[in-house]
Amino acid sequence: MPELRRDPVVGRWVIISIERGKRPADFGAGLTVKKGGFCPFCKGNEHTTPPEIMAFRPDGSRPNTSGWTLRVVPNKFPALQIEGHLDKSGEGIYDKINGVGAHEVIIESPEHQDTLARMPLKAVEDMLWAYYYRISDLKKDKRFKYVVVFKNEGDAAGASLEHSHSQLIALPIVPKQVIEEIDGAKRYYELKERCIFCDIIRQELASQTRVISENRDFIAIAPFAARSPFETWILPQKHESNFAPNGNFTMLAEILQRTMKQIDKTLDTPPYNMMLHISTFMDEVNDYYHWHLEIMPKLTKIAGFEWGSGFYINPTPPEEAAKFLREAKI
């Protein structure tokens, strides 16, 4: 079983693969994404993935056969293992937890060439429903405290398969970085009795310089302190502490797909990472945290300065990035 280990100085957790550790020869320099060739996520290849956890099958077809529009399957090479009780232990000065968790893959479309920008809007909406259903289900497992939902697109962004998919990892602890973000929002609320993200939205709407787009319910902005060029956040305009459908996910799907079209057009379909930021399972409804999506096109490299300081150097001011994206002819 993998191990969660905590750095004793800074409290940062890492997941260490214990059993089948990678040896020096396993680290190739080349592409990890298989181009062309066999794809386990394509329709017709359902038998090559672990059995599905859920699927959307408008034609009523049987599980693990063709006919689906979206499938959720366990990751074949999970970072954490779903079976087992939580076991926290020490090793002298160090702390560790056995690597219990869920690691699932959301296959967003049966078509290999689909992307968030190109798939039917309905498929984007369905992806968001799948996020919601899986989070709701994993929340019932008392071993888990948080779920990280994310999407890697392209080799440089860490995707190991080309076929468009998202992933989620349910964790037995709340990541330090999530705690920091929530605590930051809480401190602001204690001071002002207002949600800091609501205040950010108000200020961005007033200045307009970093607004990329809006629809009835959502806003897409280039954040003031963007870590990387063309970093984009999508937030609900009204305060919502946790990710949930407001009747449906149509408005969110619309602005997300529009944003991805703008990014693809402006940056020639770059690799990117997308992360869902939500409240913890223990504290889902609150006045201070505001869920959102963060999209980071992968255009720069993390180097020694970033590792050594936690600073980022962003060569594109978010005001200019927002302008480029806003004016993209999609």
How many chain residues are in contact with a copy of itself, going by CB under 8 A? 92
Exposed / middle / buried, residue 191 (Cβ in 10 Å: 0-12, 13-18, 19+): exposed
Site for a copy of itself in 243-302 (CB under 8 A): 266-268, 270, 273-277, 294, 296, 299-302
The one segment of 38-46, 117-125, 131-139, 167-175 that binds a copy of itself by CB under 8 A: 167-175
Site for a copy of itself in 70-129 (CB under 8 A): 79, 91-94
229, 260, 279, 322: residue in contact with a copy of itself (rule CB under 8 A): 229
List beta partners, residue 239: none
- C-alpha dihedral, 39 to 44 to 48 to 50, nearest 10°: 110
Q: Interface with a copy of itself includes 177 (CB under 8 A)?
A: yes
| Residue 165 annotated in active site | yes
The one segment of 67-75, 243-251, 253-261, 314-322 that binds a copy of itself by CB under 8 A: 314-322
Site for a copy of itself in 10-29 (CB under 8 A): 10-18, 21-24, 26-27, 29
Cα distances (angstroms) measured from residue 24 to each of 4, 58, 159, 302: 22, 46, 21, 22
Structure tokens at 163: 């076929």
Nearer to a copy of itself, 38 or 309 (CB): 309
Cα distances (angstroms) measured from residue 285 to each of 181, 197, 294: 16, 15, 21
- Active-site choice (103, 163, 165, 292): 165
305, 322, 327, 330: residue in contact with a copy of itself (rule CB under 8 A): 305
Nearer to a copy of itself, 57 or 186 (CB): 186
44, 58, 199, 248: residue in contact with a copy of itself (rule CB under 8 A): 199
Nearer to a copy of itself, 159 or 252 (CB): 159
Cα distances (angstroms) measured from residue 112 to each of 40, 59, 107: 10, 20, 10
SS3 label, residue 94: strand
CB within 8 Å of 247: residues ≥ 6 apart? none
How near is the Cβ of 10 to a copy of itself at its closest, in Å?
A: 5
Q: CA-to-CA distance for 137 and 254, rounded, in angstroms?
A: 25
83, 90, 247, 309: residue in contact with a copy of itself (rule CB under 8 A): 309
Q: Interface with a copy of itself includes 38 (CB under 8 A)?
A: no
Nearer to a copy of itself, 18 or 121 (CB): 18
How near is the Cβ of 123 to a copy of itself at its closest, in Å?
A: 19
**CA-angle at 130, arms to 129 and 136, nearest 5°:** 90
List the end-to-end C-alpha distance of the chain, in Å, as a whole number.
Answer: 47
Q: Interface with a copy of itself includes 303 (CB under 8 A)?
A: yes
212, 226, 253, 260: residue in contact with a copy of itself (rule CB under 8 A): 226
Q: Interface with a copy of itself includes 67 (CB under 8 A)?
A: no
Q: Which residue has the tokens 């205040």?
A: 199
SS3 label, residue 46: helix
| Element of type H or E holding 54 | strand 54-56
51, 113, 245, 311: residue in contact with a copy of itself (rule CB under 8 A): 311
Cα distances (angstroms) measured from residue 229 to each of 5, 102, 114, 223: 32, 32, 25, 10
Catalytic residue set: 165
